[in-house]
Structure 1
Amino acid sequence: MFWKFLLGMENLLRKLDLTSLRLFVAVCHEKSITRAAEREFIAPSAISRRIADLESIIGLPLIHRHQRGITVTSAGETLYGYAKKILGTIESLGAALSQFHEGVRGNVRIAANLSAIVQFLPEDLAAFERVFPAVNVELDEQHSHEVLKRVSERMVGLGICNEVSGIELFETVPYRTDRLAVVLPISHPLASDRELAFELIADEIFVGLQDKSALMQMIYGQAVLLGSSPRVKVRVSSLDALCRMVHAGLGIAIVPHQVGQLYVDVLDIVVHPLLDDWASRQLWLAFPSHDSLSATELALVNFLTK
């Protein structure tokens, strides 16, 4: 008997449909098939068939029809109560899922280079979180080339990087611009200059980032154009470490101007803007295409580029 009961319940759940439940709830609420039909913009005969189907599935009468309307049976009252809960849950589910379509709830994975993370993203993501508190943002720090690789492999939804080879394969929108600067020990002969051209420092001893970084590749490329080759004495993995190495007298460094300014009053260094045109850099938001973005990712892109 127990197995028959379980099979009966499985059969019931398979055959019940939300439209029939909604129409049944309307009939119970209006106490009339005619009024329910007017409310739901459907023919009374169609509602009658739906209720007859429900009664056939359940195996019990749900309503008694009479001239003044209907009377709900005990089984019908039970179904009525559960049907309202089911429909209410479905409505709540629809409202919750609509938030994902609107981009106000969900998860976003970003890969960004060091320059974007150090200079701009902390404040921008904090502002985004205040507007979209139900969106979780996962941030992965990578070199610009690795950022694009992770976007292409769909490991992240979008990336933030400098203009490097391969970026033309992606859809891009401008994010921020920064200006490179030279960080010198306060005792350096060029420390008193207000601005510097790269050709004046190309033969200096540098402290730098790893070779994969877009910044180091840019420095190497510009040095080659001048017929020089930078002498890199120490390599580190962060921009703040670069500034500390300069403070220790191990060489000079090129960093985003905004980063260098953070340490001027803390370390024995000076920071001078680079005069060269290439020292003004564009940071880009990169992704496969607008169509590939989820609503949540699109909301973040629009927020960061507004």
Structure 2
Amino acid sequence: MLHERRSRPPLSPPGNEKDIPVTADVEADSWAATLTPRLAQFVAVARHEHVTRAAQQIGVPQSTLSRSMARLEADLGVALFARHGRTVSLTAAGRTFLATVDRALSEVDRAAESVRADADPAAGKVAFGFLHTLGTETVPGLIRAFRADHPRVRFQLVQNYGESMLQRLRDGELDLCLTSPVPDAPDLVSRRLDEQRLRLVVPDDHPLASRKRIRLAEAASELFVTLEPGYGLRRITDAVCAEAGFTPKIAFEGEEAETLRGLVAAGLGVALLPPPAVPRPGVAELTVTAPRAFREIGVAWLDGHPDTPPVAAFKRFLLSRRGQLLPR
């Protein structure tokens, strides 16, 4: 639906403000762009109640500041100041305007300080995403090692599945993410860091549980529990099973690898999973000898996105850990 853009109606100047010229062509969505350059000047004049002293404080010619205040009043259609020779005082409208402008400029100050703090080389922030399966040991170990040399850098940590994290990269919510498979997209830069063998996980009372190794084709008749479509590990499971010559029969789909292990322990199927951080009772984990079952782990970031110093430092650190990311 199309909406007509209308000009903001001019404010009606009360009483002796009738001589203030009114600018009628300021559109409703452009007040901020129109007024913002003059707001700090207005606050300076309001606090000093003297145009010359305000001009000296903010470093502009007095004539420029006078014209700026006149233009501000013209744009608003309201007298903000009463003139008394060399001094000025706020009108009722001016006092109302000052209270709101003070709050707005304070918010701008806080926003500026926040982004400056996040970019601080020694104590800035890194927004870092990673897969749930890397959250128990891998990511805590990485951050501990990085903070040995950067003890004050802060982390905003996000655990999610790969596609969601890549979208958050694109939306500017994340600086970096560890994901699998390693993405290949024109708007992203990615680097392979390591690979992780996948195991066939079966209940500990399963006929295959006494085996140490297995060809995946031997599990073609089994019911599988897997992650939902859209998860990287699900795509890898489907691809490895296809390479073994079969399409897995899916009994249950979940959102987290350790939940799948629990389903396997309950006898509800088998699963292709990365090694657990802590061995789980109730299951046996078999090495898959053929086809080669593994997942690549990589780091990704948005192409052309400038890095703050802490993000650049953490990126260099991750790239230096190629081949050492995961426990052997």
Unaligned runs of 5+ in 1: 17-96
Partner of 2:58: 14
Partner of 1:53: none
Question: Larger % of helix: which?
Answer: 1
Cα gap change, 1:241/1:300 in structure 2, threshold over 3 Å: closer, same or farther? same
Deviation string 1:184-214 (CA, Å, 9 cap, x unpaired) is 1111111121122221213211122212211
Cα gap change, 1:274/1:168 in structure 2, threshold over 3 Å: closer, same or farther? farther
**Identity of matched residues, %:** 20
Greater C-alpha radius of gyration: 1
Classify the secondary structure of the residue corresponding to 1:274: strand
Work out the CA distance in 2 between the residues paired with 1:6 and 1:275: 84
Partner of 1:268: 282
Mapping for residues 50-61 of structure 1, pairs under 5 Å: none
Cα gap change, 1:139/1:202 in structure 2, threshold over 3 Å: closer, same or farther? farther
Task: Please state how far the C-alpha of 1:167 moved relative to its aligned partner.
Answer: 4.0
Partner of 1:284: 298
Work out the CA distance in 2 between the residues paired with 1:153 and 1:239: 26
Task: Please state how far the C-alpha of 1:303 moved relative to its aligned partner.
Answer: 1.7
Deviation string 1:91-123 (CA, Å, 9 cap, x unpaired) is xxxxxx79946x322111122222332451122
Select which of 246, 249, 264 maps to 1:228: 246
Deviation string 1:29-54 (CA, Å, 9 cap, x unpaired) is xxxxxxxxxxxxxxxxxxxxxxxxxx
Task: Please state how far the C-alpha of 1:280 moved relative to its aligned partner.
Answer: 2.6
- What is the one-letter code of the residue matched to 2:278? L
Classify the secondary structure of the residue corresponding to 2:316: helix
Q: Which moved more, 1:225-234 or 1:182-191?
A: 225-234
Cα gap change, 1:231/1:242 in structure 2, threshold over 3 Å: closer, same or farther? same
Cα gap change, 1:167/1:4 in structure 2, threshold over 3 Å: closer, same or farther? closer
Work out the CA distance in 2 between the residues paired with 1:99 and 1:246: 43
Cα gap change, 1:206/1:277 in structure 2, threshold over 3 Å: closer, same or farther? closer
Partner of 1:297: 311
State the TM-score, normalized to the length of structure 2. Answer: 0.59
Deviation string 1:62-107 (CA, Å, 9 cap, x unpaired) is xxxxxxxxxxxxxxxxxxxxxxxxxxxxxxxxxxx79946x32211
Cα gap change, 1:200/1:276 in structure 2, threshold over 3 Å: closer, same or farther? same
The total of aligned residue pairs comes to: 220
Deviation string 1:10-46 (CA, Å, 9 cap, x unpaired) is 2232239xxxxxxxxxxxxxxxxxxxxxxxxxxxxxx
Cα gap change, 1:12/1:124 in structure 2, threshold over 3 Å: closer, same or farther? same
Work out the CA distance in 2 between the residues paired with 1:202 and 1:274: 13
Cα gap change, 1:114/1:98 in structure 2, threshold over 3 Å: closer, same or farther? closer
Unaligned runs of 5+ in 2: 1-45, 61-115, 321-328
